Amino acid sequence: MKKYVFDSSALISYLDGEANAEKVANFLEEINEKELEAFLCVVNLGEIYYHFIRSGGYHTGDTIIKAIRTLPIKIIEANIELTLSAGRIKAFNKMSYADCFAAALTENKKGILLTSDKEFKQVERKIKVDFI
């Protein structure tokens, strides 16, 4: 069974109504219809939150968090195992630390990372990445 991990860039695109929002909507529809598993690391949730606070204020950020909680996505805490895995990825790649959490979660869940962030090209040999 397919498992998806969302990077913050994919959900920001969807929630901002950017050009690739329809692709993300299609993934969400597939996840919902086929009862697939989908995940988002809490660190990446923080990235989404600050993005929307910067662009629209606290009310917008809070509204976005409520909207994300209605999606068929499980929010995963950053425990010690995931944090150390993200640290190992960060040690050998020029990626943001938050992106390393998305990569680590993808590796942990043996899933497919959904992203529009080209930084993830560095870890394509280690995890499956679907660039939206």
Q: pLDDT, tens digit, for every residue of 82-125?
A: 999 999 999 999 999 999 999 999 999 999 999 999 999 999 99
Rg of the chain over all Cα atoms, to the nearest angstrom: 14
Contacts for 101-106: CB closer than 8 Å, 24+ residues apart: 101/41, 101/43, 101/44, 102/5, 102/6, 102/7, 102/8, 102/41, 102/43, 102/44, 103/127, 104/41, 105/5, 105/39, 105/41, 105/76, 106/5
Range of the domain at 46: 3-131
CATH number of the domain at 81, please.
Answer: 3.40.50.1010
Give the count of domains, the chain: 1
pLDDT at 37: 97
State how far the alpha carbon of 33 is from the alpha carbons of 39, 66, 113, in Å.
16, 21, 19
